[in-house]
Amino acid sequence: MVEKCIRELVMNKKIKKILREILRHMPIKKSVNTPIMLGNLLDNRTALITGGSSGIGLEIAKEFARNGANIIILGRNIDKLKKATNLIKNVNQKIEVNSYQIDISLEKDISSFFEKIEHFDNQVDILVNNAGVICEKDFWNVTEEEFDRVINTNLRGTYFFTRRFCKYLINNKIKGNILNVSSSSSLRPALTPYHFTKWSIRAFTKGLAKEVSKYGIVVNGIAPGPTATDMLLEGSDNINNLGSPIGRYSTPQEIANLSCVLVSSLSESIVGDTIFATGGSGLLTYDDWD
C-alpha cells in the first residue's frame, strides 16, 4: 500500500512536470479585466514619481491623475517624458502635469531639482520612489561598473533623493506620503546587485517610516512580482505565467490601484509596511516544482 502511494506520488510529480513544460511553450493568451479606480482619493494633492515615464511608474502616474492628483514625473529620457506627459494629461484634463529630466544617481541633478521644487505653485506631498535599473548577469559575471550602476540608481539615488524630499516636507510643514517600489525579488536570496537593492529598499522603508512618522509623513512600500509591462512582455500580449498560482502576470493597473490606496487617507494606519503583490508566488513550496 505504501509503495503504491509512493509510485502514484512520483507519477503525479512527473506528470505535473511534463504538463508544465508543454504549457510553457504554448502561446496562451490570457486577458484580465482590471478595474480602473476613478474617484477623488487624491484630490488637491501633488505626486512626484521617479521613473515615471514608462512601465509601472507611468501606470501609477495615470492612476493618481484619475484620482485628482497633480503629477510630476522624473526620468532620464526626454522623449519618453514628453510622451508620458501627454498620456497622463489625456487621463485628466483638470490637473497639472509636469516632467523633468533627471538622473537620481547624480547629486547635482538632485540638488538642481530641489531648487526648482521650492517655487512650484502646488506643494508636493507624495513621493513614489520607482526609478530603478536592472542587471541580468549572475554572481560570477557582474562587473564592478554594472554593480555600481545598479546600486547608484536603485539604492544610493533613492536614499539621497528621499532625504531631500523629507527635508522639503519638514521645512514646509507638509504632511505627506512616501511609497517605495521594491520587488518580490526581496523575498529571494540576494546574489545580484538588483536583489541587494530590493532587499535594502524594504529595510529602508521600515527605518524611514520610524524616523519621519513624527512629522506626519507616512512611509510604505509595494513589492510587485513579475508584472506585464512592455519590457517584460517584449511585444507579446501573452500574460500567462505558469510560475504563479493565479496563472498570469500581475498587470500594471493592479499595481497602480494598490499604490493609489497606499498613499491615500484610506491607509493611514499602514506604516512602514511593504505590501507584496506577487500573484501568490509566496505560497509556492518545494513540492510545487518537483
Q: What is the spatial distance between Cα 219 and Cα 187, in angstroms, rounded to a whole number?
A: 20
How many C-beta neighbours within 10 Å does residue 151 have?
Answer: 19
The answer to whether residue 220 sits within a structural domain is: yes
Cell digits for 215?
512629522
Q: What is the spatial distance between Cα 132 and Cα 113, in angstroms, rounded to a whole number?
A: 18
The answer to whether residue 166 sits within a structural domain is: yes
Q: 82 in the Ramachandran plot: left (φ > 0), alpha (ψ -120 to 50) or beta?
A: alpha
The answer to whether residue 2 sits within a structural domain is: no
> Does residue 205 register a pLDDT over 90?
yes
The answer to whether residue 17 sits within a structural domain is: no
Q: What is the pLDDT of residue 176?
A: 98
> Does residue 280 register a pLDDT over 50?
yes
> Does residue 285 register a pLDDT over 70?
no
Choosing from 159, 194, 249, 286, the catalytic residue is 194
108-112, 140-144, 179-183, 186-190: least confidently modelled range? 186-190
Q: Name the nearest CA neighbour of 126 among 92, 96, 154, 162.
A: 162
The answer to whether residue 10 sits within a structural domain is: no
Q: What is the spatial distance between Cα 279 and Cα 281, in angstroms, rounded to a whole number?
A: 6
Helices (H), the chain: 2-24, 55-66, 78-91, 107-117, 144-150, 158-171, 193-212, 230-233, 252-262
The answer to whether residue 4 sits within a structural domain is: no
Say what the pTM is.
0.86
For the question of residue 194 being annotated catalytic, the response is yes
Residues 55-71: tens digit of each pLDDT: 999 999 999 999 999 99
Residues 164-177: tens digit of each pLDDT: 999 999 999 999 99
Q: What is the pLDDT of residue 2?
A: 45
The answer to whether residue 121 sits within a structural domain is: yes
The answer to whether residue 250 sits within a structural domain is: yes
The CATH code of the domain that includes 87 is 3.40.50.720
Q: Strand, helix or coil at 133?
A: coil
In which domain, by residue range, is 109 found?
40-288
- Confidence grade of residue 286 (pLDDT, cut at 50, 70, 90): very low
Provide the number of structural domains found in the chain. Answer: 1
